Structure 1
Amino acid sequence: MKIFVLLGAINGFLSVALGAFGAHVLEGKIPDKYIETWQTAVQYQMFHTLGLFIVALLAAKWPHVSSIPIAGWLMFAGIVLFSGSLYVLSVTQIKVLGAITPFGGVAFLIGWLLIGYAAIKYL
């Protein structure tokens, strides 16, 4: 599935760029607590960028398994909701944005469960 390779490449680029931005531009401009929050967003974005590449590989191997692309879309949604909300929270310090983050975390969890389900069913 070419879309997941493309999404992985874009998110890999963004996670490196945003990590550098946090380390070089935000350092000293926002409280350390929010620098750590920013770093958490970068880490989870990069972990799930790798997940998008895994989805692309599995979708190529098992094109008939519908749970694999669903897992990829959930990982992408998780990146947007989890990491995106943490990025915005870090720079705005509007704490209510933290209420969005768990939805992204749940999307990540379900995505990984779907990959596990596919492995159990099709290996």
Structure 2
Amino acid sequence: MQDWFLDNASGVVYFFYWFYVLGYWPIILLGAVFLYVKYPQVYKKHCTVALITFSITIVLYEIYPLAPPRMLSTLGFVDTIHHFGPDSYHTATDTFRYNPYVAMPSLHIAFPTIVCLGLA
């Protein structure tokens, strides 16, 4: 599927990649701030859920390490970060905010889901 998108719809890949880079954390933080200001009880509950989720995930990651699929180039996966991402993702000087060797896709879904459930 990745090959098809890269060959036929690279603009879609580019758009969603940059949407993630520029929007992921701001959207989560804005949602959390909104909940904190408008619905503090809901914020407290969902913040607790997020911390428990993160804690469990860190323990599971230590037990069973993961790696991003983009590191499986021998299986045909393409590292789209190097094709579409900012140059800072390729340098060692910016590793304070980006660790290229870990991946927890479940957290990429869990945090926005927790915020969305709080906003619902």
Q: TM-score range by the shorter chain?
A: 0.3 to 0.5
TM-score (norm. length: structure 2): 0.36
Identify the structure with bigger relative contact order (alpha carbons < 8 Å, sequence gap 6+).
2
